[in-house]
Amino acid sequence: MWLIDSSIGRKVVMSVTGSALIFFLAFHGAMNFVALISEDGYNAICEFLGANWYALVGTIGLAALIAIHFIYAFILEVRNVRAVGGLKRYSRKERPAGVEWAAQNMLVLGIIVILGLVLHLTDFWSKMQFQEIMGSTATVEGLGQVSPTDGAALIGYFFGKTHIAILYLVWLAAIWFHLSHGFWSAMQTLGWNNAKWLCRWQVIGKIVVTIIIAMFALVVIGFWCKAHCC
């Protein structure tokens, strides 16, 4: 199977799963942004998704995408370390001009993203969709019992805490760096690139990724301001 045993095939899997995850983030970001405009509107979205069959199918698909992307990243890394003869290579190494920092640190950035994901699932998913699946309600210290569809209350509670807001912003910055390389790299791996389109994909990628991350970041900053300035 070429998607498993060829180097380009393995990269194609990374590109396709990565692109799908960018699509997901775009939807997630747009839905979050609603919370800034109308908290009731955001809760309506939470209710619409909830633990309905389509949301569950989506969640399972998403978990599979993340798992495949993560497992392949480690398979690639192990093979790449072996290909250069171990972790210690040159005694002196300089990054040539034109090589992005993010491009050379995708695995580290990916690990930060996964760690942030654990925090995010604990803060939100475990108190929302998970509770609905289990047929129970979560109790949050300082908030009491929270309905699984009252996402706005959870957002307000968590992003109102400065240390959590900072952690989320750091996490979002890591995702931005990861995606700023990942976007055009996916196009390159799929062969949809040439000398003219290389710069175009890089610019398009940065714009798309900045919009997506800005939607998330504005929600964090907005709710922090609501808690501290209003």
Which pair of structure tokens corresponds to residue 207?
A: 């714009």
Q: What is the CA radius of gyration of the chain?
A: 20
Euclidean distance between CA atoms 132 and 150, whole angstroms: 12
Which pair of structure tokens corresponds to residue 175?
A: 């995702």
Residue 40 Cβ vs another protein, minimum distance, rounded to whole Å: 44
Q: Which stretch binds another protein (CB under 8 A): 36-44, 76-84, 135-143, 168-176?
A: 76-84
By the rule CB under 8 A, 163 interacts with another protein = no
By the rule CB under 8 A, 171 interacts with another protein = no
Site for another protein in 107-126 (CB under 8 A): none
Euclidean distance between CA atoms 73 and 123, whole angstroms: 26
By the rule CB under 8 A, 91 interacts with another protein = yes
Length, in residues, of the chain = 230
Q: Which stretch binds another protein (CB under 8 A): 20-28, 148-156, 170-178, 182-190?
A: 182-190
If residue 137 lies in a helix (H) or strand (E), which one and from where to where? none
Site for another protein in 9-68 (CB under 8 A): 9-12
Q: Which stretch binds another protein (CB under 8 A): 41-49, 148-156, 188-196, 215-223?
A: 188-196
CB-based contact 74:13 (threshold 8 Å): no
CB-based contact 84:125 (threshold 8 Å): no
Identify the three-state secondary structure at position 197: helix
By the rule CB under 8 A, 188 interacts with another protein = yes
Site residues (CB under 8 A) for another protein?
2, 5-12, 76, 79-80, 82-85, 89-100, 103-104, 106, 181, 184-185, 188-195, 198
